Structure 1
């Protein structure tokens, strides 16, 4: 345990500001609100100096991962990202294994399925989704959330190192602020998530929206991905939420095994 903590501390020491800034810019431009932004807007949103921001933008434009419109003086994502995205999708075996399960469980349950991946320390993003025909949840692939949000957040937090999950919960930068009582209750709930192997969120993050999620384990028994079913709270009441939780856990376990992961419970 102590060795793992030391390794994490070592990893956090190293930072490459230009790379960090470039990634933040690309992430910002991927958001609908900032999809076409000028230099001032980008620098302000990311707390970068205009000079630093401009230099990074210039390099990204040179590489065609962003584009600059001379008439509007605004930046947007560039054409080469389409190429990179397609190549990434072709090379990710995980998606080819996971997406058939998502299609099957969405058809079976009538709920929208999401595949969520942790990125960095504090965020998670939707990397694939299958919408239900009648009640599709309008959230796009690539949407970023705090790692503490939703049932999928709980399923990630529950299998982190306890010190790390406590730190993320204390940061309190999710969809809504948490009181001290809610933080305490969440920590207790994470113990149940570890025991059951799935998490439930029932309208506490987004009113009227409920979800169940289960972790996908890698070969180190750690979790970077979560698979979730999301719908209206009317669709996931009481025993139905429990039934869906057990169903999504079974799917997540099967995916973990197919990907060579090691599930630490049965």
Structure 2
């Protein structure tokens, strides 16, 4: 049995559906959002499309494990204290973050802008793993905030290094910060080869009005890109030549990080 499992894993066939785990993760993700950080059973069940009975059972178990907290007075649930422990342990074991954080600090110090590290999560989402706020015109970006994998300059970086079939599928879903028109999707697809060639991606107010973003991919030891670093600032305070210089700068930093992490560089 063990040999069969090992063989399946080596072929990348670890696609098992575990509804309770999926549902628990949906609940925790929901409670991590500011809008739902203190929610009652009805709100959680509705937002996660779970039946109240199923939702209640999962919440009871998560509460027992101190992964969620229940306030008897307000009858609302929130994230629990044991997640703090798990988060700290994860940070200690994530070599990537310890390597990357000093680079983010250096970029913020040099540019005065907010820098952050984005990691892809699952098929459709990405999240901010770390950030350093700039002194000049820092923008508030919350660690742990989730986005569509296609959003922003960092989304462009992730899309540029996906298989065309996968990137097309994600663009067809069109569930980002704002809906893209058919023409915008066509233009974005045309831009992806240029991003691969230049080594960085930019946005200028098209995803969030007034915000400019510059991002570069971090290559892991496989052939995919799961992480990107990014700089964000205000469109009113940055010119085209500034963005180009930042693109080259962040590309150089991302290259150094990739080399330290033993990254694979596509030809």
- The reply to whether TM is greater than 0.5 is yes
Residue of structure 2 in register with 1:4 after alignment = none
Structure-1 separation of matches of 2:81 and 2:27 = 15
Q: State yes or no: 1:95 paired with 2:97.
A: yes
Structure-1 separation of matches of 2:260 and 2:149 = 25
Consecutive unaligned residues of structure 1, counting only runs of 5 or more, are 1-6
Residue of structure 2 in register with 1:116 after alignment = 118
RMSD, aligned CA: 1.2
Deviations 1:135-169 (A, max 9, x none): 11111100110001000010011101111111111
Residue of structure 1 in register with 2:237 after alignment = 235
Report deviation, 1:236. Answer: 3.1
Residue of structure 2 in register with 1:146 after alignment = 148
**What is the TM-score normalised by the length of structure 1?**
0.94
Structure-2 separation of matches of 1:212 and 1:235 = 14
Deviations 1:223-260 (A, max 9, x none): 11100010001233212111111111110010000011
Q: State yes or no: 1:21 paired with 2:13.
A: no
Please give the secondary structure, in 2, of the residue aligned with 1:221. coil
Please give the secondary structure, in 2, of the residue aligned with 1:95. helix
Structure-2 separation of matches of 1:235 and 1:246 = 19
Residue of structure 2 in register with 1:52 after alignment = 54
Structure-1 separation of matches of 2:144 and 2:153 = 18
Consecutive unaligned residues of structure 2, counting only runs of 5 or more, are 1-10
- Given that 1:253 and 1:263 are in contact with CA atoms closer than 8 Å, whether structure 2 keeps it comes out as no
Residue of structure 1 in register with 2:63 after alignment = 61
**What is the TM-score normalised by the length of structure 2?**
0.93
Runs of 4+ displaced beyond 4 Å:
none
Residue of structure 1 in register with 2:195 after alignment = 193
Please give the secondary structure, in 2, of the residue aligned with 1:223. coil
Structure-2 separation of matches of 1:43 and 1:175 = 24
- Given that 1:211 and 1:236 are in contact with CA atoms closer than 8 Å, whether structure 2 keeps it comes out as no
Structure-2 separation of matches of 1:58 and 1:236 = 50
- Number of residue-to-residue matches in the alignment: 257
